[in-house]
């Protein structure tokens, strides 16, 4: 390992403003390293804002014998809950059982059963589901989340939206996460620890020298160069492009681009629990309460061949999700029930799996140090294990920087998350006492988004009018200014689809008016 040049602008330059890039930047900056990050679009503008919004162990990954990944994710759920109780919270998942459930016959579990019990080939028997849920409850330990239980669908309210053929269900625990807010809050905390965060800034070239990198940037302020002792490639779907086109190196590993699409419908049920549906084709989908008045259904797993093609939920995928969910619900889901769709490309490590569904969700970190300054390439990963991925990345990074501090992020609150896991309702009540002009729904939204920082955002306001122009759906100018000055938002799309989901409630004219106001505020 050659000595790195001390005469650099930064120690680490991170390419990519998704959850992996921002998580690594936060961890590294908190250990005392000089960090700069560049994202060619908005933070979380690609994969990291297009997830199913879950911190989960990955129940179905047990069928692929991915026990290490599942255990790490199960342990991590509660670590993350404690650090961000405003943007993450426990949810109960209802898994209806029926005899027609089938495996993907290519899973290791299905193949094993096919050999040992040929008459069971392709079937998912109840005992196997119970075994999987037992492992799910015990692999990672639980202190906050309740264990699995059995539900009588004939008497429990969760059975009312379902077809009568479902008599029994299993109910287990996982967690919700506001994915794009998670990315932004990691970026904010990285910045608070000294990192420089650049959005809408493209890395056009990275020149490798024996002891440093010269990183060429093109952003709103023009072009410039940054000298970095080490390069971190967290480009997500573009990780291979960064290696080959930006750094001019040969890629020794590849990514498998898998498109996951979701539909959002009008609310399909009245309770706050989620459904885990298993299809006769071996796939699974979730139906999740979303933004109070809606239901989120997803996801698909489709190969995405062309990275230059923006991912979008196709009509075929939307129909598949509607029909899949409708095979469980009493009431059909019509195309007119869909109010929004979104799609993202997951950059999975290419392990040669036979299908997109079977491709590993493990992350892989590849360190390149021969022939010049070091470069760390990040492949794959899932949102639940982003913090562990960052710690694993730091294990590879710290040998180049003797004296670097040790791990520190476990349980450390993200901005606004400094209150107990069970303290959300108390936060809402306290905020409404201090700001009695707030409507209950508005107060809940503010605490969900900003946690304890909601008070700082509202400041000395005595009335709603003190919050400035009303853009609709309780969004006021003071909140918009906060998002622009504190959370890197530059246009209306950044706010209504990533910092919030108010795009579901605002009209096109209202969004255009917000965009115009923000342009004028920038000038």
Q: What is the pLDDT of residues 171-200, one digit of tens each?
A: 999 999 999 999 999 999 999 999 999 999
pLDDT score recorded for residue 110:
63
Please compute the mean of the pLDDT values over residues 435-445 and round it to a whole number. Answer: 98
pLDDT score recorded for residue 25:
98
For 260, phi then psi, to 5°, come to -115, 120
Kind and range of the H or E run holding 459: none
Does position 424 have pLDDT exceeding 80, yes or no?
yes
User: Domain 10-47+180-252+360-400's class?
Assistant: alpha beta
> Three-state secondary structure along 46-105?
CHHHCCCCEECCCHHHHHHCCHHHHHHHHHHHHHHHHHCCCCEEEEEEEEEECCCCECCC
In this structure, what is the dihedral angle of CA atoms 422, 426, 428, 432, given to the nearest 10 degrees?
Answer: 180
Q: What is the pLDDT of residues 286-296, one digit of tens each?
A: 999 999 999 99
For 308, phi then psi, to 5°, come to -70, -15
CA proximity to 199, closest of 214, 184, 189: 184
Does position 355 have pLDDT exceeding 70, yes or no?
no
Q: What gap in Å lies between CA 63 and CA 123, rounded to an integer?
A: 12
Q: Can you name the CATH fold of 90-176+256-348?
A: D-Amino Acid Oxidase; Chain A, domain 2 (3.30.9)
Percentage of the chain modeled with pLDDT above 70? 92
Kind and range of the H or E run holding 240: helix 239-241
Q: For the packed helices 386-397 and 67-83, what is the interaxial angle rounded to 10 degrees?
A: 100
pLDDT score recorded for residue 320:
96
The superfamily (CATH) of domain 423-522 is Alpha-glycerophosphate oxidase, cap domain (1.10.8.870)
Residue 89: other Cβ atoms inside 10 A? 17
Mean pLDDT, the chain, whole residue set: 92
Q: What gap in Å lies between CA 470 and CA 37, rounded to an integer?
A: 34
Strand, coil or helix: 378: strand
Assign 265 a pLDDT band (cuts: 50, 70, 90).
Answer: very high
Assign 104 a pLDDT band (cuts: 50, 70, 90).
Answer: low
For 199, phi then psi, to 5°, come to -105, 160
Kindly report which listed range (78-87, 105-114, 381-390) carries the lowest average pLDDT score. 105-114
pLDDT score recorded for residue 67:
84
Q: What is the pLDDT of residues 49-99, one digit of tens each?
A: 999 999 998 887 777 678 888 889 999 999 999 999 999 999 999 999 887
pLDDT score recorded for residue 102:
62
- Tell me the pTM: 0.94
Residue boundaries of the structural domains of the chain: 10-47+180-252+360-400, 90-176+256-348, 423-522
Q: What gap in Å lies between CA 194 and CA 35, rounded to an integer?
A: 7
Does position 448 have pLDDT exceeding 90, yes or no?
yes
Please compute the mean of the pLDDT values over residues 504-519 and round it to a whole number. Answer: 98
Q: What is the pLDDT of residues 117-167, one digit of tens each?
A: 665 555 667 777 888 888 888 888 888 999 999 999 999 999 999 999 999
Identify the bridge partners of residue 198 per DSSP, sorted by sequence position.
Answer: 38
Kindly report which listed range (104-108, 417-421, 482-486) carries the lowest average pLDDT score. 104-108
Strand segments, DSSP code E, in 385-493 are: 470-472, 475-476
CB 390 within 8 A of CB 27: yes
Q: What gap in Å lies between CA 499 and CA 49, rounded to an integer?
A: 10
CA proximity to 259, closest of 321, 201, 324: 321
pLDDT score recorded for residue 96:
95
Q: What gap in Å lies between CA 184 and CA 17, rounded to an integer?
A: 9
């Amino acid at each position: 390992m050659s000595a790195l040049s001390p005469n650099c602008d930064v120690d680490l330059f991170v390419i990519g403003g998704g959850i992996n890039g921002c998580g690594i930047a936060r961890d590294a900056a908190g250990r005392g390293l000089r960090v700069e990050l560049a994202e060619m679009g908005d933070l979380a503008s690609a994969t990291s804002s297009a997830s199913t919004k879950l911190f989960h162990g990955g129940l179905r990954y047990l069928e692929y014998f991915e026990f290490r990944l599942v255990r790490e994710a199960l342990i991590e759920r509660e670590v993350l809950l404690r650090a961000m109780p405003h943007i993450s919270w426990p949810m109960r998942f209802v898994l209806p059982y029926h005899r027609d459930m089938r495996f993907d016959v290519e899973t290791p579990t299905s193949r094993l059963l096919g050999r040992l019990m040929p008459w069971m080939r392709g079937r998912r028997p109840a005992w196997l589901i119970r075994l999987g849920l037992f492992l799910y409850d015990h692999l990672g330990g639980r202190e906050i989340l309740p264990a699995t239980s059995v539900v009588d669908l004939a008497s429990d309210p969760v059975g009312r939206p379902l077809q009568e053929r479902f008599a029994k269900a299993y109910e287990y625990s996982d967690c919700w996460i506001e994915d794009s807010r998670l990315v932004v809050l990691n970026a904010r905390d990285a910045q608070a620890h000294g990192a420089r965060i650049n959005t809408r800034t493209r890395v056009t070239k990275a020149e490798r020298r024996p002891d440093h990198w010269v990183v060429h940037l093109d952003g709103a302020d023009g072009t410039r160069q940054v000298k970095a002792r080490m390069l971190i490639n967290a480009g997500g779907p573009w990780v291979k492009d960064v290696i080959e086109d930006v750094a001019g190196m040969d890629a020794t590993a590849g990514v498998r681009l898998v498109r996951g699409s979701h539909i959002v419908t009008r609310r399909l049920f009245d309770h706050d629990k989620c459904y885990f549906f298993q299809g006769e084709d071996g796939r699974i989908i979730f139906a999740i309460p979303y933004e109070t008045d809606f239901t989120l259904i997803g996801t698909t797993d489709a190969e995405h061949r062309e990275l230059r093609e923006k991912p979008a939920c196709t009509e075929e995928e939307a129909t598949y999700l509607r029909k899949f969910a409708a095979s469980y619900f009493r009431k059909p889901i019509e195309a007119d029930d869909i109010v929004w769709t979104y799609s993202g490309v997951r950059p999975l490590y290419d392990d040669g799996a036979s299908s997109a569904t079977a491709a590993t969700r493990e992350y892989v970190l590849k360190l390149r140090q021969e022939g010049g300054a070091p470069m760390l390439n990040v492949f794959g990963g899932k949102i639940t294990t982003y913090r562990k991925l960052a710690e694993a990345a730091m294990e590879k990074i710290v040998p180049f920087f003797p004296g670097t501090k040790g791990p520190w992020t476990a349980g450390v609150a993200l901005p606004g998350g400094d209150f107990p896991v069970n303290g959300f309702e108390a936060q809402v009540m306290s905020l409404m006492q201090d700001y009695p002009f707030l409507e209950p729904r508005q107060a809940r939204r503010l605490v969900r988004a900003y946690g304890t920082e909601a008070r700082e955002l509202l400041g000395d306001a005595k009335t709603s009018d003190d919050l400035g122009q009303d853009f609709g759906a309780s969004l006021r100018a003071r909140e918009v200014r906060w998002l622009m000055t504190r959370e890197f938002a530059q246009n209306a799309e950044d706010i209504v689809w990533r910092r919030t989901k108010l795009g579901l409630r605002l009209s096109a004219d209202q969004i255009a008016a917000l965009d115009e106001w923000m342009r004028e505020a920038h000038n």
